A and B are shown apart, each in its own frame.
Chain A
Amino acid sequence: MDFLIFQVPMLTLQAVLDGLLLGVLFALIAYGMALQWGVMNIINIAQGDLVILGGYIAYFMYLYGIHPAWGVIVSPIIMYFVGVIIYKLVINKVVDRDLFISILATFGISILFMQLMNFAFGADVVLANSGYGTTMLFDNSVTLPNSKIFSAFISIVFAIGLVIYMKKSKLGRAIRATAQNARAAKILGVDTEKVYAATFGINAALCGVAGALISITFTIHPYMGLPYTIRSFMIVIVAGLGNLPGVAMSGMGLGVFEEFADYILGTEFRIGSVFLLLVLILVYRRFKLSRKREYLK
């Protein structure tokens, strides 16, 4: 019973496919985290709460009779402005400071958001039904909801679009210049304040996309944010900042790990195993680096 998953190959395939489709979403959120971490040197604990807020936008469109897939377009636009407002109110005061200050300040934002969403949307677990049906593979032994395939596809489109935007556009170049050396960029006429605001806005918009997709494929709840933050943090430290293929790979790897943990340990240990994996990865890297007398920076 315990390891049925390894005896039935179709079940394994199911878990792997589920995990890959889920992992693409994680990678999208982690990409936003890597962006703001690399450019502004802050760690945003409220990342997951931005995701959930984006999800509620799509859910509300669903409630008012609009197909929730349109949330993929509406939610990032709204979330961009939410991100810029958060930046103007709080983040611009912590950008140059110690990383721990940014962790604590965004923790405050996270608590605030959690509670505001709880007031506004209620504490129920909700999902926006897309009505996409499911695809059956291999004689009906592997089922894939079309919404998951849709969400993975959309995430990939957004990620590729953003990469091209960062390479080609003027703002993208300014963001990359600021990430390399903020002072030099300032001297050369880049308005770093604007760049930071835009970066945080883009990060929030990415969270909005991911949230809208999560509300279609999975469920959302006001208090579910922190695990998404931890997942994206984990993906970023495994992949490294600015390593986009690495982010995609480790995101999908994490998705597969979670599905297997879910099957083997049981659903109640799913979130716990994610957090434990984070601890184990950090400890592993610490021992690996300490052989060279270095430490994680």
Chain B
Amino acid sequence: MNKNIILYGAILIFGIAAPFIFPAFKVQLSILCILIILAITWNVQGGEMGYNTFGNILFYGLGMYLCASVQVGMFFPLGEWTEGGGEKTFVHTPAQFFQGFAVGLAVAAVVPAIIAGLIGYSILGLRGHYFAICTLGLGVAAGEISGGIEIIGAGQGFTTPPFPNVDRLEARGEFFYFCSFIVLVFTFLAVKAIYSTRFKLVLNAIRDNEDKAEAMGIQTMKYKIIGWMISAFFCGLAGGIMGGLVGYIDSTDVAFDGREMGVFMVLMAILGGKGTLWGPVIGATLFHIFKEGFWTFFLGWQYVALGVLIVVIVIYFPEGIMGWLREKYPERFGEVVDEADRKAQVTLK
């Protein structure tokens, strides 16, 4: 227990100090935080519940659009803002900016969760690959449809409010870094708390055998919807921050980017190890390093390298890093191993 406190403290201190140690990497670090949040939330859904989804991108993109729309719409007419394109006639004062961003984030978290609750009953009745393909369709459809809606910018995109003029140049990067870091800590602690309750056992029961779980008297649909709502809540938050960070929202390339971000969150969770608390964190960090490496060293060929990476991860590491460690050192994970039994199994092969 003591060791854990030291570990958590060290990570927390590193997280707070990071933007000052590596001032050039503030945006990268913020994106890393967002990616970790997405991987953790995917893991609630895909790893613990066993419902492999490509559709969390729906909530991410929704959060992005909602946060930006609320931030603009609270003070200025939204239609005129998006119509103006690059030429902005409206400028947020600092107070307006932060107020709008805070309210926007709240909306961006709550509304996707409500939507997840509303569509959950229909969609979560599907299982396995039907669920995966259905959610993939949902994400792409959302992107295509939002690309046709005028008030949020349609095809030409939505420029989020620029960061207000405060005296320090560094302020923008630090603000978004700490936003994403605080949300990350909040997400991690919330998920950790959830994982220590009976709720996680219910989710695992659903993953292992849903019919049996239902036969044991668990109302599986209720728990599945709650699980999805938790996922959607944090996805929306992450999306809202990412929208402000990127500064420009496009329907298919930034917000509902099902072919990139939607697959990345699955891969990050799988690379780290599905169904573990730390797996997505490790997976997302490694994946981000890989991705940035590809972008730096294989410029132009980055997607080719990425495609190969996806295939290699999926075929050769479906259990992920945590799964591999668990197989290697089962005692560390609190599994009781009968040495003679294990040897017998090996010889049987």
Contacts and interface: CB of A to CB of B under 8 A. Distances in A.
A and B assemble together:
yes
Interface of A: 43, 90, 93-94, 97, 99-101, 103-105, 107-116, 119, 226, 230, 233, 237, 266, 268-269, 271-273, 275-276, 278-279, 282-283, 286-287, 290, 295-297
A112 B305 CA distance: 8
B315 A296 contact: no
Interface in B218-265: 259, 263
Nearest to B267: A104
14 contacts: A100-B52, A101-B314, A107-B310, A111-B307, A119-B304, A266-B148, A272-B140, A276-B141, A278-B133, A283-B123, A286-B125, A295-B125, A296-B126, A297-B127
Contact of A230 (B123, B137, B267): B137
Given A104-B314, A226-B140, A269-B144, A111 B132 contact: no
Interface string B325-337: 0000000000000
B137 A279 contact: yes
Contacts of A119: 300, 304
B12 interface: no
Given A115-B303, A282-B134, A108 B148 contact: no
Most buried by A among B132, B137, B300, B306: B137
B314 A272 contact: no
Given A286-B126, A295-B125, 14 more contacts: A103-B133, A104-B314, A108-B311, A115-B301, A269-B148, A272-B147, A273-B141, A282-B130, A283-B122, A283-B125, A283-B134, A287-B125, A296-B126, A297-B128
Given A43-B129, A93-B315, A287-B122, A275 B307 contact: no
Q: Which 10 A-B pairs have the closest CB atoms?
A: A112-B307, A108-B310, A272-B144, A275-B141, A115-B303, A108-B311, A111-B307, A99-B129, A278-B137, A268-B148
Given A105-B310, A109-B311, A282-B134, A296 B148 contact: no
Interface in B101-149: 122-123, 125-130, 132-134, 136-138, 140-141, 143-145, 147-148
Contacts of A101: 314-315, 318
A203 to B, nearest CB: 17
Nearest to A271: B144
B141 A272 contact: yes
B335 to A, nearest CB: 23
B137 A295 contact: no
Interface residues of B, number: 41
B266 interface: yes
B171 interface: no
B126 A295 contact: yes
Contacts of B145: 269, 272, 276
Nearest to A286: B125
Contact of B134 (A94, A226, A279): A279
A260 B130 CA distance: 26
B260 to A, nearest CB: 8
Contacts of B132: 100, 103
A109 B141 contact: no
Given A108-B314, A111-B303, A111-B306, A276 B129 contact: no
A54 B213 CA distance: 47
A6 B155 CA distance: 29
Contacts of B147: 268, 272
Q: Chain B's interface: helix, strand, loop or mixed, by majority?
A: helix
Interface of B: 52, 122-123, 125-130, 132-134, 136-138, 140-141, 143-145, 147-148, 155, 259, 263, 266-267, 270, 300-301, 303-304, 306-311, 314-315, 318
A96 B307 CA distance: 22
Contacts of A97: 318
Contacts of A105: 310-311, 314-315
A53 to B, nearest CB: 14
Contact of B310 (A99, A104, A272, A287): A104
Contacts of B308: 108, 112
Nearest to B55: A279
A100 B136 CA distance: 12
B263 A107 contact: yes
A29 B314 CA distance: 26
Nearest to A270: B144
Contacts of B310: 104-105, 107-108, 111
Nearest to B143: A272
B138 A275 contact: yes
Contact of B303 (A107, A112, A226, A286): A112
Contacts of A297: 127-128
Contacts of B315: 90, 93-94, 101, 105
A229 to B, nearest CB: 9
A119 B307 CA distance: 14
Contacts of A108: 307-311, 314
Contacts of B136: 230
A278 B126 CA distance: 13
Nearest to A45: B136
A237 B134 CA distance: 11
Given A103-B129, A272-B148, A275-B144, A109 B307 contact: yes
Given A103-B129, A112-B307, A283-B123, A275 B314 contact: no
Contacts of A112: 303-304, 307-308, 311
A103 B132 CA distance: 9
B329 to A, nearest CB: 25
A115 to B, nearest CB: 4
